[in-house]
Amino acid sequence: MKIIKSPWKNELMQMVSDAKESIKITSPFVKENICAELLQHKKSNSSLELITSFKLMNIYNGSVDLNGLEHIIKSKGVVKNFSRLHAKIYLFDDKKAVVTSGNLTNGGLLQNYEYGFYIDEPSIVSEISNDFNQLLRDETMGQIELNHIKEVRSLLKKIPKSEQIPLPTYSVDATVEKNDVITLPEGIISSTLKGWKLIVFNCIQSIPKDVFTLNDVNAFVPQLQKDYPNNNTIPAKIRQQLQLLRDLGLIEFLGNGNYKKLWQ
C-alpha cells in the first residue's frame, strides 16, 4: 500500500497499460480527453467498465462529458449509471486498486489536490472488487447506451443559446438536494420525448412533489387504462419508462420505490 497524491495521471495510465484482463472504474465526473487517453493506453483484450453519475445537470454543466462516454461505449466498454455515486475507485485485474478523491477528469488527475491510496494487498483488493460487483447488482443501477446519449444531446440542443440556466440553490433546511436539479424552459423535455416515455413523464410532471413514489405514478393507471384500453400491461409499461427516464438523467432512483425529479 502507498499514498497516491496529485498529479497522478501518469501513474493511472501506467496501471491502465499494465492491466491484462479488466479495468473497473467508479467516477461521478468524466472528461472526454481523459477517456480518450485511457482508451489509448488500454490493451485491446482488457475489458473496461465505468460507473458514473448520469444526471442531466452533470451533463449540462460539463461534469460528465457525453463524448467521453460515447467513446468508451463505441470501444466496446460498458458505462453504468448510479446517480448517488460519490466514490472514486480504480480496479485493475482485480489485483490492484486505487481509492482516491480524484475523478476521471483533468482536475481529478492533475490540477486539484487529490489524495488516496494504491492497494495491492489481496484481501483488501478482493473486498473492493466484491463491493464493485455488489454495486453493479444494485436495483437502482442503470446502463447507458448510445441511444441515451443521442437523446440527451437532442434535449440539450433545444435549450436556447441565450437561455441562462440558474445555478443550484442551497439551504441547510432543504429536505431534497437541489444541486443536481436542472431548471429548464417549459416544454423543452416534453418536446424531446415521444410515446410512452412522454406519457409517463407527463404523469410525473403533474405530481406536486420533488420526491415521489411508484404508487404516486401508478395512481394514473385507471386514467391511462381508459385512454389506452388495448394496453393490458400499463403498470409494467410505467416501470419500464421510469428506467428509461433514469437512463436519460431525468430522474433518480432512490430505492424502495422512491424516485426524485432531476428537473424543474
**Structural domain boundaries in the chain:** 2-143, 162-261
pLDDT score of 102 more than 60: yes
Closest CA to 192 of 202, 206, 182, 183: 202
Torsion of CA 15, 16, 21, 24, to 10 degrees: 100
Instruction: Read off the C-alpha cell for 263.
Output: 428537473
Task: Indicate the pTM of the whole model.
Answer: 0.89
Q: Per-residue pLDDT tens for 204-228?
A: 999 999 999 999 999 999 999 999 9
Instruction: Read off the C-alpha cell for 31.
Output: 472528461
Question: What topology does CATH give the domain 2-143?
Answer: Endonuclease; Chain A (3.30.870)
CATH number of 162-261: 1.10.10.10
Please, which residues bridge with residue 71 across strands? none
Percent of the chain surpassing pLDDT 70: 93
- For 28, residues 6+ apart whose C-beta sits below 8 A from its C-beta are 52, 53, 58, 63, 64, 85, 86, 88, 103
